[in-house]
Amino acid sequence: MQMTYSARVPEGAEAVLIPGGLVTPHGRWAPVATPGMDAIEEATTGQRAYRLAPEGDEIAVTFRFDPSCGAYPDAIFTPHPSRFTRYADDLVAEVDDIAGDRAGLERARAVANHVAARFTYGHPEARFNDGFEVVPALGCGLVEGSCVDINTYFIAALRAAGIEAGYVTGFFFPEEKGGTCEDGHCWVVTRIDGASAEWDIAHHLKLGRRDIHPGLNPKPGRRLACFHSMGLAFPDLGISEMTALIEPVAVLGGEVIPFEAPRIRLAFSGIR
């Protein structure tokens, strides 16, 4: 089983930054090395990524599936100080009011349902945490947000509640699209009493559901986890405090440039 990611390279791009893969309980996806692709290290988590020197107007990267499974790495649950991981004192008080004396998975579910009640799914021009050096408490009312926004708040709220949590990035291929998707995706993993659980509030909201349950649900499809964490740094490319590495991106002068209309295709049994 493999995935191909191809796109037109923006004019002037000096490099392409590629996520290096992630071991999970569901297996591992990683890019296939090609000439011109060099391994580099993400400075805050120690993850491996790849720098590709683009040749020509197009790039094509293949990710291959390894069925070998493992626990999520400890680094995914270790927050490194950044505007994406620090949270306001008000958020601690807000979460305490919601979670109360609940423990374990029920405590995490209480936080998840609270977050779901604060967001509508969308892609706003301004994010709820723009201009803040901490993740702010939302209080009452609704805020529009993408999976990135929702999970930024969710992870901060979980950690404010004393729950180990991490941010997973990669791809989601909806069942009805037959092995294609348009862009990357992100979701959350918790570790409670040594057991991990995944959460996807954005997919619940897109389906009109606010009663959140753990699991790679509720939208049928296939997920590919390729990287983790927020507030990333790649000194080799002059990049600091990058929101997240969700999919391959072009780099110019230390700035990240998302690819326009990438072609993303999954090939596995029954789909070619």
pLDDT band at 269 (very low <50, low <70, confident <90, very high): low
Average pLDDT over residues 161-189: 97
Positive or negative: CA dihedral 7, 8, 13, 15: positive
Q: Residue 272: is its pLDDT beyond 70? A: no
pLDDT given at position 270: 42
Q: Quick check: 132 pLDDT over 60? A: yes
| DSSP letter, residue 133 | S
How far apart are alpha carbons 123 and 73 in whole angstroms? 30
> At 183, is the pLDDT very low, low, confident or very high (cuts 50, 70, 90)?
very high
* Banded model confidence at residue 140, pLDDT cuts 50, 70, 90: confident
Mean pLDDT of the chain: 95
∠ CA 197-199-204, rounded to 5°: 150
Q: What is the rounded CA–CA span in Å between residue 144 and residue 125?
A: 10
Residues 6+ apart with CB under 8 A from 269: 1
Could you say which DSSP state residue 271 is in? Answer: B
Residue 70 in tokens: 């493992």
Q: Which residues contact 155 (CB under 8 A, 6 or more apart)?
A: 85, 165, 166, 167, 188, 230
- Say what the pLDDT of residue 141 is: 82
Q: Residues 37-46: what's their mean pLDDT?
A: 98
Question: CA 199, CA 189: separation in Å to the nearest integer?
Answer: 6
How many other β-carbons are positioned within 10 Å of the β-carbon of residue 125? 6
Which token pair is 264? 């993303």
Give the Cβ contact number of residue 175 at 10 Å: 10
**What does the pLDDT average to over 17-32?**
97
pLDDT in tens, 163-175: 999 999 999 999 9
- Indicate the domain borders of the chain: 2-76+226-267, 89-224
Q: What confidence tens digit (pLDDT) does each residue in 221-239 have?
A: 999 999 999 999 999 999 9
Statement: 89-224 belongs to CATH 3.10.620.30: yes
pTM of this structure: 0.94
The SS3 assignment for 145 reads: strand
pLDDT, tens digit, for every residue of 240-261? 999 999 999 999 999 999 999 9
Using CB atoms within 10 Å of the CB of residue 218, give its burial: 0 to 12 exposed, 13 to 18 middle, 19+ buried: middle
Helix or strand or coil: residue 200?
coil
